[in-house]
Amino acid sequence: MAIIGNPKYADRIALHLSKYPDKRSAVMPLLYIAQEEYGWVNDDAVNEVAQIIEIDPTQVRSIAGFYTMYSEKPKGKYWLQVCTDLACALRGADEFHHELLHELHIEEGGTTEDGMFTAEHVMCLGACDRAPMLQCNFHMVEKPGGLTMDDMRLFIEKARSGDADLQALIAEWRNLVNEHLKTFE
């Protein structure tokens, strides 16, 4: 679809624009929204963001190209990012990352043939206490004690059976995390 005129994003776009005295400053959050809609920062995404903040598309593209959190290539429906930075590496993130690629039959940064999953490793995601840390479409996926490959096989199975099933699994794990955190109160 599009982000301009799309009721799904209208409030978020208005909110970001209201935060800054100069609307050009909203370029990065608007790029996130456009990436969410299109799955990557394609020409339509660039042009729409440029139109909203009234700058040249070339300027928007240069910002999108500079930051690694924006993708200039199509991604799978589920963009998986495994942190392999120090704290996660100490808890087996490298093995976890390699096993995940093996499970999905892809290379680093690749996308499965069915277009469902893209997987890559990234630097610290700021959740080192939950290592090995995984993000899916920029949302943390966490479980007490950290994710295992058995968890990931279940994650993949649920994603393939439908997004509602996957979201239910993620919510179930998040509840476990919350229960676990209460034991420290």
Residues that bind ligand FES (CB under 6 A): 83, 85-88, 124-128, 131, 133
Q: How far is CA 69 from the centre of its chain?
A: 8
Between 75 and 97, whose beta carbon lies closer to ligand FES?
Answer: 97
Cα(151)–Cα(157) distance, integer angstroms: 10
Between 69 and 86, whose beta carbon lies closer to ligand FES?
Answer: 86
Per-residue burial over 6-35, b if 16 or more Cβ lie within 10 Å, else e, is: eeebeeebeebeeeeeebeebbebbbbbbb
Give the amino acid at 112: T
Work out how close the CB of 143 gets to ligand FES at its nearest, in angstroms, rounded to a whole number.
Answer: 14
Between 76 and 132, whose beta carbon lies closer to ligand FES?
Answer: 132
Cα(109)–Cα(82) distance, integer angstroms: 11
Work out how close the CB of 167 gets to ligand FES at its nearest, in angstroms, rounded to a whole number.
Answer: 22
Work out how close the CB of 7 gets to ligand FES at its nearest, in angstroms, rounded to a whole number.
Answer: 35
Between 47 and 137, whose beta carbon lies closer to ligand FES?
Answer: 137
